[in-house]
């Protein structure tokens, strides 16, 4: 279940990440590409079906901390 509150906190948590840093980031599980979702403040791995949160400007690149895309629908 997604509430409006969830959405607000998601977009608030997403801070800017250096574009040069984004170029070298990959999914820790598949080592495949990541898509930066600025609105949600997430790094999305389509191949793994996971979204890695960025909290206060710190990308959390941990599989255990990632949001599963299956459960909550597409980002």
Q: List residues binding other proteins (CB under 8 A).
A: 17-18, 20-21, 24-29, 31, 34, 52, 55-63, 65
Shortest Å distance, C-beta 37 to other proteins: 16
* Cα distances (Å, whole numbers) of residue 3 to 13, 14, 35, 37: 16, 17, 24, 19
Of 1 and 56, the one with the shorter C-beta distance to other proteins is 56
**Tokens (6 digits) for 29:** 């599980």
Of 28 and 49, the one with the shorter C-beta distance to other proteins is 28
């Amino acid at each position: 279940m997604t509430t409006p509150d969830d959405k607000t906190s998601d977009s608030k948590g997403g801070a800017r990440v250096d574009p040069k840093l984004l170029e070298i980031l990959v999914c820790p599980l598949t080592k495949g590409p990541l898509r930066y979702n600025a609105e949600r403040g997430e790094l999305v791995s389509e191949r793994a079906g996971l979204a890695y949160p960025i909290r206060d400007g710190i990308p959390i690149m941990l599989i255990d901390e990632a949001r599963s895309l299956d459960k909550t629908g597409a980002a």
